[in-house]
Amino acid sequence: MSALFEPFTLRDLTIPNRVWMPPMCQYSAAPEGPDVGAPHDWHFAHYGARAAGGTGLIIVEATGVSPEGRISPYDLGIWSDTQVEAFRRITRFLVAQGTVPGIQLAHAGRKASTDQPWKGGAPLGPDALGWQPLGPSPVSFDERHAVPTELTVTQIKEIVRQFADAARRALAAGFEVAEIHGAHGYLIANFLSPHSNRRTDEYGGSYANRTRFALEVVDAVREVWPDDKPLFFRISATDWLDEGGWTPDDTVRLASDLQAHGIDLLDVSTGGNAAGVHIPTGPGYQVPFAARVKAETSLPVAAVGMITEPEQAEKILVNGEADAVLLGRELLRSPSWARQAARELGGDVRVPEQYHRSV
């Protein structure tokens, strides 16, 4: 039996295989009007195709817990019941294909209010569907981005509540896995790293203070997320800075703290919080960070980052570097990657009856 196609159980949920789709923003939701932030036909077709292709778990893209928590005006949101109804169409179809539906709950922090990437991704002002970004400190991501408004403690508590409310709606929408976005330079990552967090109150300075917001969000979400359903956390394991940033040592330490607060799996990525850094990319370049967390803690991990070939993915699991693999761009290119990999590795994957002639 291929390790890639062994089921994986977390709490009471069994995911049929270890081929997972990470959150990848489509920047295709309505930016205003009655359907603002809600998924529509593009999202249904996009996620549905990967489910029909045999993907075991699909984590829907970064979904804003509030309007100002979106990366762009064109991102998904889950701050209203209208959005819940639209998500149900997608989760029902994924479940019908044997795929576990997950969702990433997110707040973009100081990198919010930008245009669609294919239009250049420039920051947008209030006169162009944009808004004023928020952050732990008035420190911009780079010279293009606006200086964020420093959050008050009262506002921080409100955002914690927004994460919990979003989790309740995600449950009502039919999602079986929730992931908290703590990576890529968005709000939780802004708090974690001393590069972006210059506060002097209980949310800044020491490791304990900088991780306080993340753990408060986890506690609030875990309180409303059912005990029988797993909760993930996505982390950037390093800022890729020589000094003054979040480090792999910090990630290992936080992994144990997250597990103690009810996180069931760490989704390990890197970067995104510091502009202009050199990231030595290449096949599987982020896997060692996941492998270290797995080796030094008891928290399950998923690996991501230029994982493209079935044998490469299989080796990561066989070598004990991760418990699952997340394929991003490769699943954009090949929606049926899981079925193709199963043929190569001798694995078993569900095939829709309509596609049996392709087996």
Residues annotated as catalytic are 186
Give the count of alpha carbons within 13 A of 10, CB side only.
Answer: 26
Q: Where are the alpha helices (DSSP H) in the chain?
A: 41-52, 81-96, 153-172, 187-192, 207-210, 212-224, 248-260, 287-296, 310-318, 329-333, 337-345
* Closest among 243, 259, 269, 326 to 296, alpha carbons compared: 259
Distance separating alpha carbons of residues 15 and 321, to the nearest angstrom? 19
Spell out the residues 6+ positions from residue 50 whose beta carbon is closer than 8 angstroms to its own.
21, 58, 99, 331, 335
Distance separating alpha carbons of residues 341 and 347, to the nearest angstrom? 8
User: In 3-state terms, what secondary structure has residue 114?
Assistant: strand
Amino acid making up residue 286: Q
Amino acid making up residue 258: L
Distance separating alpha carbons of residues 232 and 181, to the nearest angstrom? 9
Is residue 183 a contact partner of residue 235, using CB atoms and an 8 Å limit? yes
Tell me how far the alpha carbon of residue 346 is from its chain's centroid.
Answer: 30
DSSP state of 128: G
Is residue 272 a contact partner of residue 288, using CB atoms and an 8 Å limit? no
Distance separating alpha carbons of residues 209 and 136, to the nearest angstrom? 12
Distance separating alpha carbons of residues 26 and 43, to the nearest angstrom? 8
Q: Which two tokens stand for residue 119?
A: 């239009």
Q: Which residues pair with 103 in a beta bridge?
A: 60, 178
The torsion region of residue 55 among left (phi > 0), alpha (psi -120 to 50) and beta comes to beta
